[in-house]
Amino acid sequence: MGTLNKRMVLETLTATRLRELAEDLGVKGPRRAKEDLVEAFTRYRRIGTEAILERLTPDEFQAVAEAMDDGPDGAG
């Protein structure tokens, strides 16, 4: 299984979902493109990976687990 990091978690989410989380967590910055949202989240050090994981739906959490398995360090 690969190493979990905040960027990996964020990249499994849709731009719409990232916008919702940004609103909930008070993340400021551009919200148009998915990559802009991911960058904004990664700059916020006070928001850790755990804070994001706690807000995921079961399906989103499953997508993260699958991304870890398929990542460069995973068995994929």
pLDDT digits over 22-60, tens only? 999 999 888 789 999 999 999 999 999 999 999 999 999
Tokens of 67: 């991304």
Query: What token pair was written down for 35?
Result: 């990559």
User: If you write DSSP's letter for every residue of the chain in order, what string do you get?
Assistant: -----HHHHHHTS-HHHHHHHHHHHT--S--SSHHHHHHHHHH-TTS-HHHHHTT--HHHHHHHHHHHHHSTTS--
The yes-or-no verdict on residue 72 having pLDDT over 60 is no
Please give the C-alpha separations between residue 54 and each of 29, 34, 69, in angstroms, as whole numbers: 22, 20, 20
